[in-house]
Every structure is written in C-alpha cells, then in structure tokens.
Amino acid sequence: MTGRSALVSGAGIAGLAAAIALGEIGWDVTVIEIKTENTTVGVGLNHPANALRALQALGVYDQVVERGYVYRGIKRYTQAGDLIATFEPANPDDVPFQISMTRADLHEILTDRAVEVGARIELGQTWTAIEQNDAAVTATLADGSTRTYDLVIGAEGIRSPLRRVLFGNAYEPRGTGYVCWRMPVRRPADVTHSLYYNGEQVKATVINLNAESMYLLVVQQAPPAAALDRTQLAGELSGLLAGFPGIISDIRASITPQTDIHRGPLEVVELPTTWNDGRVVLVGDAAHAVIPHLAQGAGMAMEDAIVLADELRRHEDDVPKALAAFMRRRLPRVRYVQEEAHAILLNEMEADAAKKAIFAAGLGARQERITRRLAEPA
C-alpha cells in the first residue's frame, strides 16, 4: 500500500475507472455517488480499439468481449435506401476494431471491478465543500462528516458541480446545434453491420449491442431551447423517421408512447490548458465532453483514469507534479478527438447530397487513420 487516499465524486464510467486504476496501484479510494441507486442512464455505447486497450488495463476486457458485440462494419445508405458505401475494417493485431455493448452491462462490470480492487462506493452521498492546502484536500460531505485525502477526482459528468467550484461558470457545456435521440431495439439476427441512413434533415443509425439487442441513434439539427416533454417524444421521433425505408421504417412502426426513448443535446466541454486546481482534478465529461461521432466519450474517460494512475505511480511523493504530467499527456489527445468528432458531425449533416456522399465514401479511411493515431500510447 502507498498510504495515499483519493475521493472520487461520481460513480459513472469515469469515476469507476479512476477507482479501479488508483486501486490497482495501491491507493485507498472512496467513490461517492449522489444517486441512491447504483444505476446508469442511457442505452448503449461503442468501444473503439483504444478504449478496448483501456478496458484491458482495467482488467475487464474479457467480460466486455463476452457481453458485447464485435463490430463488423458500416453500411451507409441514402434516405431512399440506396447503398452509398460499405466499410469493413481490418482489426488491429491486439484487439477488435470496435466492440459495442449496453451501458448497463458496462456499469455492472466496472462496479464489480472497482469493488474487487478495494474501492468503497457510497450511494446517496455527495460533497458540500472542498478545501485544500499544499499537503491535502478536505471534503465536507452531505452527511456532515469531514474527510481528508491526498487527491479529489471530479467525475461528475458534463454538468459537474465541482467544475464550477474550480473554474466558475466560464466552461459550461456548449451546444453544437444538434440533438441526439437513442432508443433500444430488439436486434434481428440478419443485421450484422451498423446501418447508417443519411436523410436531408436527420441521420438515422442502428448499432448492434449484443446478440439480442441494438439501438437506434438519430441525430437532428435543432435549436438549443427545443426541449420536449416525455409525452411528446414518441410522436416527435416517429415524425423524424417518416420516409426512411427498411429497418428504420420497421422501428418507427414499433414506437408507442411507452417506448423507452432518450433525447438530449449534443454538447461539448472544453476546459483550458489544465483540468485541475491544486490537488483537485476533473476527468471524463466533466473535463472534456465530446460528441459521440467517434464513440470516444467512454474511451477518453477510461484513458484519463489510466494515465492519471500512471503519473501518480511515477510521482508517488508529489501529487501536483503528477497532475502536471497527466495534463501534458492528455490535453493534445483529447483536443484531437474533439476536433475530429466535430468535423464528422458537420460533414454527416451536410445539406448537399453530393458532398455528403463523397464524405460517406471516404469515412472508412478516415476512421482507420484516426484508429492508427489513437493506437499511440495515451
């Protein structure tokens, strides 16, 4: 044991990954989660090759392979159903090109691993004040207790309260002008590839999650203030899917007012050159939320955790020095991912059909180039 301790605020992907990574190097870790139930929100997610390497480092890769779906490629269509392009990637030597899975399965796997390495997870708990000096951080918790740690990690997601404490309101989530719809769907056995339909106003996609399930993902241009009541979701989504053929039409016909539909804005968080103040550091969406067009949100969060633990191991007696080294490694990589993802969003939503087709035909090569870049050490 190092004798070092950390408080992690948030028990999502970023927080659990941080708990695992620090627990594996001998840190004493407590995770606090404001929710009273150990659940997650959302439908599914994709793990590209770099994320799979992170899952290997966290010791959960085999479980992910067992419960996920190994990606076979993409077929891209026009809204009328005409095939534009097929992309079937070559897998890297060490891991598949990508594996998809349900968020619930990943949450369960990471939770079990965090407990296995010794992390304590306290539900219904949060911090009310954070104070620090050169030697330690003291957190006052909602139950009235005060605890002192060597490090506090904010993994609270895109609307992180701890980010506001560290940096004020200057770095709130910034809208992209688009919203994303997600809906779980039963997977037909003959759907082996991800299917992308490029409409004039929306993009509709189905992505396999495991042997039984997949999910519908729809990207729509919409003003930031266009919030909907849950009673409106089924009707609005049905309207967006009108005119799409094949499996998208079948999914549209299955939508009822009781369908589990998730809708949210596509937003980004871009902090300046540091994600920490003293011994308090942000990771995951709290520091650098990215839109889903490279499927890198979870991967970047897990890489944060692994690199943070690596630098804390290298600089065991100097937490501030470790955090400075962490930032030098992480900032360029995260910025690259955010820029590439935003470029793909804009090209996919291009109004000019000819430009959209050219982009779709070249996207496979672009994704392979990005995959090679992210194969470099995090």
Kindly indicate the confidence band of residue 129, based on its pLDDT and cuts at 50, 70 and 90.
very high
240: closest CA among 258, 224, 257, 255? Answer: 255
For residues 111-126, give the mean pLDDT: 98
What tokens were used for 159?
């609307």
Kindly indicate the confidence band of residue 42, based on its pLDDT and cuts at 50, 70 and 90.
confident
H or E element: which one contains 300?
Answer: helix 297-314
pLDDT at 219 over 70: yes
How confident is the model at residue 353, as a pLDDT? 72
What tokens were used for 100?
């998809």
How confident is the model at residue 107, as a pLDDT? 98
Which residue has better confidence, 370 or 352?
A: 370
Question: Which residues make Cβ contacts (< 8 Å) with residue 185, sequence separation at least 6?
Answer: 206, 213, 214, 215, 216, 251, 254
pLDDT at 154 over 90: yes
pLDDT at 200 over 50: yes
Which residue has better confidence, 357 or 338?
A: 338
Span 17-36, pLDDT tens digits:
999 999 999 999 999 999 99
pLDDT at 350 over 80: no
- Domain positions in the chain are 5-172+268-374
What tokens were used for 26?
């001998």
pLDDT at 360 over 80: no
Kindly indicate the confidence band of residue 363, based on its pLDDT and cuts at 50, 70 and 90.
confident
What is the pTM for the complete model shown? 0.94
CATH code of 5-172+268-374, in short, is 3.50.50.60
Q: How many CB atoms lie within 10 A of CB 51?
A: 25
Chain centroid to Cα 161, Å, comes to: 18
Span 289-323, pLDDT tens digits:
999 989 999 999 999 999 999 999 999 889 999 99
For residues 128-153, give the mean pLDDT: 97
Please state the length of the chain.
Answer: 378
Q: How many CB atoms lie within 10 A of CB 3?
A: 9
DSSP 336-360: HHHHHHHHHHHHHT-S-HHHHHHHH
pLDDT at 68 over 80: yes
Which residue has better confidence, 360 or 78?
A: 78
Looking at the chain, the whole-number percentage of residues with pLDDT higher than 90 is 81
How confident is the model at residue 320, as a pLDDT? 95
